[in-house]
A and B are shown apart, each in its own frame.
Chain A
């Protein structure tokens, strides 16, 4: 099958998770107010019917190719590898080249078609960095849906370009002032909206997180990333990569890149979380590496929390990684040891951002810069000559220019 006209098949191998209760081992499930339970059942039924409908799959495939620009390139980044002083070949999966500038559109195109199929005219979404908000607003415009995006007030400030994009696309952006005023609080508010408008509204959740079936639904829509990596790697290198790396906030780009390789024992899987100011300072977003299992936003997952079970505030320079939870499937892969968690500090991410810019001419999102930074942290055997590494470059950096310039040149000194 050629890459350019692949129809997503949503075929999962037997025994694939989640189980019927939406569990990935101990993780996942449906921990939501009763009002939403029937809506989640309705969503699951609609998804299962859509995935078996050739017309639905064909329309999604057409949009992914003709509208979004799939497949995205897999680019061999020799100068980047050199900049990191590693002998292995490094490939970048260019999700930053997808329409709207990040992998998020893979998910919102599918969910938008699902919303239309379910007869819902009103779409709500939460967003951190604004990439999912932009992707939701884009699809709402394309399909003629009303769109309301909840965004933490702190993120509205630091991701101003994306707020402007959403408005221009016709979406309403509602700043959320509660809690830490970031992604976690935006998600609380989106859930409250959904509880209040459940019959008319489609909740377009942006990460492979939240209550079942979202972790399944979002993974199925994002796993095209890893499937393309495998095919492109076969074409370019004649084999699968030795390692796949992705940044992890809630984890949709990560599970999308990883899922194809979970059952390939030769492929190492690295999820890179935000170490923020440093793990030891407690100001970070590394739930896989340093959280404990808990329940937030409808699912059991690794969670940053205090001794009394209150959810901790995450910290990261990158709004998309500034989240104290993580998706249940990644939690399961971490728990079973299939995924190795790594982390990168704000400073390391900024350095990686610059290295990529100057070695390859690519300004990446600060989220993706964390995945790049992990090139310096791989075990030595993976850095050696003959090894092949794939890094998912989940988004482009336009939205972060102000943050990066402020961090690198405080007060505009240069």
Chain B
């Protein structure tokens, strides 16, 4: 009953594997355009078949994000969305099937305090966090606080990450390893690089935890092509854009479409 956050994440990937498919990881920006709207979107994305949900914490200076997520963060900040509200939103949606991880930049978390963030995130039912501007060398203090609460600090591996560094990152990984598909910022791309396949194979051989791939994935064909190579696929900008431009039903239908593409793997 009382599985830790990190365990719930592994279970979500294991459940997908049991169905002989990769897991679908869906990103939602909290507060875009309001917390109420995000609440409804979380429920819809969960019902549409997301295996894991990343709950985005808006930040004023998102240096790893392309225009779609930059603009989503600005809309959320215009509504004065705070980290405390994002955590409260997660708590209201504890009962969703898909485990939720927070995703956001370090400064709001540092500002709240590492110990308090870990404690409150765990109490809200969040399973972990992904922090794109917190590399391995700087992560020790926060990781220790999160471990105490059973939460996973999910590391990122980039195409430029090699050798000893890659081994150290996979060895430290909890929950899953987030593989960045291309050198670049978040956002849909027409083509993913050919070296992605061998890279995913290398990572899966190194890592004890599942390997998910993100940045650039937006369409069912991409998902179909990637599915056999990975334990999980992250869709972010494409989903945020569908929701912003065409509403909650369009977002849910994108999730169903990508989930169906995984099923055919």
Contact = CB atoms under 8 A, between A and B. Distances in A.
Interface of A: 21, 29-39, 178-179, 184-185, 188, 191-192, 195-199, 294-298, 303, 305, 307-311
Given A32-B133, A38-B162, A178-B70, A195 B111 contact: no
- A-B pairs, 10 with minimum CB distance: A309-B111, A309-B108, A35-B158, A196-B184, A34-B158, A308-B82, A33-B64, A310-B60, A311-B60, A38-B160
B199 to A, nearest CB: 13
A36 B160 CA distance: 8
Contacts of B66: 192
30 contacts: A29-B137, A31-B134, A33-B133, A33-B135, A33-B158, A33-B180, A34-B158, A37-B160, A38-B161, A38-B162, A178-B70, A178-B74, A179-B61, A184-B61, A188-B62, A195-B184, A195-B185, A196-B183, A197-B183, A294-B107, A294-B110, A296-B61, A308-B82, A308-B111, A309-B108, A309-B110, A310-B59, A310-B60, A310-B108, A311-B61
Interface string B179-199: 010011100000000000000
A18 to B, nearest CB: 13
Nearest to B80: A308
Contacts of A196: 183-185
Given A179-B60, A196-B185, A308-B82, A31 B157 contact: no
Given A199-B183, A308-B84, 6 more contacts: A29-B137, A31-B134, A34-B135, A34-B136, A295-B107, A310-B108
Interface in B72-113: 74, 77, 82-84, 106-112
Nearest to A292: B111
A32 B185 CA distance: 12
B37 interface: no
Contacts of B135: 30-34, 37
Given A199-B183, A305-B111, A308-B83, A33 B60 contact: no
B185 A305 contact: no
Residue from the set B109, B111, B157, B159 with the largest chain A CB neighbour count within 10 Å: B111
Nearest to B84: A308
Contacts of A198: 160, 183
Nearest to A191: B63
A39 B165 CA distance: 13
B61 A34 contact: no
B156 A34 contact: yes
B161 A37 contact: yes
A191 B66 CA distance: 11
Nearest to A313: B60
B63 A33 contact: yes
